[in-house]
Structure 1
Amino acid sequence: MILPEEFNNKWDVSKDGPLIKFNYKDLMSKDFSDEVKEFLSTGGLPETPPPYLEFTSSQPLLRPITKVFNMPEEFQKYWFLGSTGSGDPICIIEKQENIVFLNNSDNYKEVFINSSINQFAECLLVYSRMIDKAIEVNGEDAFINNEIPEFVIIWLKEELERIDAKCMEKGYFWFTEIENLYE
């Protein structure tokens, strides 16, 4: 599992954009493990990483989604981090600490992304590297034009499975992202 410092060193800020780091003092009162607090304050999250995710609106505080959006109390265990390209809220689940998104076109049904914030960050890192590999082979517009060589997709799938085997189960976020690369 990637450590926050390692993630910082591997994330290419000049190419992939800045990292948002949370204030550790603000996280102290939150009911998350020290590992999550350390990752968010030291490692951070990329501001707008592929595949079309956004974490800019998560600043300055990690908040329950019920405080961000007008949602019923049963969603209180979800803490808002950012959103998908479709506007689905990406959240960390209190106590469990899984990363999920809430599918706004399916009554905010929970869709699993990763088992931990560390694994989520590492998956973002390898997804970004997949784009680099595709560009090396098929040119600058390879990702935009969905011209990703099959061997690169296979590499990505193997890396995602290595990082978090559960994330590649059918219907989950990363499984769907891999399927989309074949379209």
Structure 2
Amino acid sequence: MNSSEFKSAWLSSGFNPQIDSWLEFDKFQIEQSTVNKHTKLFLQAGFPDSAAPFLNFDGLSKGKFLTLTQMFPRFFKNERSKSFWMLGTDGGGNLIAIDDSNDDKIVLLDHEQNFELIDIINENIEQLAQCLLLYRNFVNDVLEKNGEGAYLDGNYTKEQLLKLIQGFNTVDSDILKRSGFWKSQIATL
């Protein structure tokens, strides 16, 4: 899935312009970044401002594409923090970042532990996008078939959950072994 396909799929599947928005990153900052060409091209199309499960991609950056060092220069002056390009946050306030020192893997950094690495969420930005779309489709399916509030109430079928797991395994056959983030999201359902 390329970035245009992702954007089209996202905007056509349950997108409500009254409460949802599409984030456009600063294209100059993307071009000047040290992420690889594939990541740059993918980010040029933008990203949803928020996504299930309780992720936010616009809260800190407001469309800017910066490293941890650039966003918080008083606190982060070491070389390692220059490798983390801020993408968003999870529901607990931990940072989701692109690690350019590790093939642009999507990582989760602990905001309470000096932004230490918690986990690798996905192998690249494309996999993250695919997983977000699968999770969104899962939530939409649960709400449509099981009623308003069904997702938050944990009211879904085994078939709906299995479809989500199978989708994740299509993106990466080892994702639920390798990514503690996605594994924990499935476990909490």
| TM-score, with structure 2 as normaliser | 0.86
The answer as to whether partners of 2:98 and 2:104 remain within 8 angstroms in 1 is yes
- Distance of 1:128 and 1:171 partners within structure 2: 18
Deviation at 1:176, TM superposition (A): 0.7
Given candidates 107, 119, 129, the residue that maps to 1:100 is 107
Structure 1 residues 165, 106: CA separation in 2 closer, same or farther (over 3 Å shift)? farther
- Distance of 1:105 and 1:168 partners within structure 2: 25
Structure 1 residues 109, 72: CA separation in 2 closer, same or farther (over 3 Å shift)? farther
Cα RMSD between the aligned structures? 1.9
1:89-126 per-residue CA deviation (whole Å, 9 max, x = no partner) reads 00000141000111234552331111110110111011
Deviation at 1:71, TM superposition (A): 3.4
Q: Which amino acid aligns with 2:96?
A: I
Q: How does 1:41-80 map to 2 (within 5 A)?
A: 41-42=44-45, 44-56=46-58, 57-69=60-72, 70-71=75-76, 73=78, 74-80=80-86
In structure 1, list runs of 5 or more residues that go unmatched: none
Query: What secondary structure does 1:39 align onto?
Result: helix
- Distance of 1:72 and 1:152 partners within structure 2: 46
Q: Which amino acid aligns with 2:71?
A: V
- Distance of 2:182 and 2:149 partners within structure 1: 22
Identity across the alignment (%): 26
- Distance of 2:27 and 2:108 partners within structure 1: 24
Q: How many residues end up aligned between the 2 structures?
A: 179
The answer as to whether partners of 1:90 and 1:102 remain within 8 angstroms in 2 is yes
- Distance of 1:113 and 1:159 partners within structure 2: 16
| TM-score, with structure 1 as normaliser | 0.89
Structure 1 residues 167, 72: CA separation in 2 closer, same or farther (over 3 Å shift)? farther
Q: Which amino acid aligns with 2:70?
A: K
